[in-house]
Amino acid sequence: MTLFLQQMVNGLVLGATYGLIALGYTMVYGIIQLINFAHGEIFMVGAFAGLYTWHRMPDAIQGNVFLVLPIVMVVAVIVSVSTSLLVERLAYRPLRKASRLAPLITAIGVSIALQEVVRLFYPLENGRFGAKSPLSFPRLIEGPNIELGPVLIARVSLFVVVVAVVLMIALQAFIRRTRTGKAMRATAQDPDTARLMGIDTDKIIIITFAIGAALAAVAGVMQGMRFIQIDFRIGFIAGLKAFTAAVLGGIGNITGAMLGGFVLGIVEVMATQYIPQGSQWKDVWAFVVLIGVLVFRPSGLLGERVATRA
């Protein structure tokens, strides 16, 4: 039972990362019905931006988590948001009136391009960073594990889950209660009518991409803090799994995206632990879940919240 509970906790932590990335997928799809397959690379860019920021900090302050962590997060968010807005302006906006296939193919191309940009231009030479490993992320939140009954939870893992849930609740409040959030919901339902009512739909789309990128950047930094090592390929698989989480929860449904992330994380961890040779197939379970959802419940666990457009 202790092992089972421990694996449940591990699944929740993994699912929190998937859920944060899935929020970006579900928001963009809800507004412009675009499956932004480059969103996983925005997550990856955030992780690398945070890592680069930490490497550039003076050694004297690198151990001060209350100073370093906010700076790393802010820089990662700025870089990811800037990258996402650039992609939206150059790659997606010109194709907004095109058939759905053109933006989809463009998103895949952007995904590959961002991977290659990071691979070619990130300064890997150890000389740039002194004796530090260029791809080793700092474990900024350390300390003894927290005991919850028979289960031990690392402080960084608890931090990841709490931050993910808080950001999901904050996003829900923003969408429901603010004027911009209402404009986003109106744009998602009918962009033409929203435009006639005086809503700047281009601005709303930009805000949507920015919020999704910010959440992905936070997820990228927390992923690096948990697993220490990062590389330019982490966004591709994580992005596909996050898209699966969004579909599982109900595309366009913010709470569903986070719930889908948690469910997917638990399924992956449990399958890895209890199915023979499960670790060798750990990247398969997400797509097994995706196929099952599309076959048996295509609207997701909590149902879609996307308007049908002609």
Domain positions in the chain? 2-296
- pLDDT tens for the chain, 310 residues long, are 677 788 888 899 999 999 999 999 999 998 988 889 999 999 999 999 998 898 888 877 877 888 899 999 999 999 999 999 999 999 999 998 888 889 989 999 999 999 999 988 887 655 455 545 567 777 778 777 887 777 888 888 999 999 999 999 999 999 999 999 999 999 998 888 999 989 999 999 999 999 999 999 999 999 988 888 888 888 998 999 999 999 998 888 899 999 999 999 999 888 888 887 767 787 888 788 888 888 888 888 887 665 555 4
pLDDT at 38: 94
pLDDT at 144: 78
pLDDT at 260: 92
Question: Is residue 175 left, alpha or beta, with left meaning phi > 0 and alpha meaning psi from -120 to 50?
Answer: alpha
CATH topology of domain 2-296: ABC transporter involved in vitamin B12 uptake, BtuC (1.10.3470)
pLDDT at 162: 95
pLDDT at 307: 55
pLDDT at 310: 45
Q: How far is CA 30 from CA 65, 102, 118, 192, 256, in A?
A: 36, 18, 29, 15, 13
Cα distance between residue 289 and residue 287, in whole Å = 5
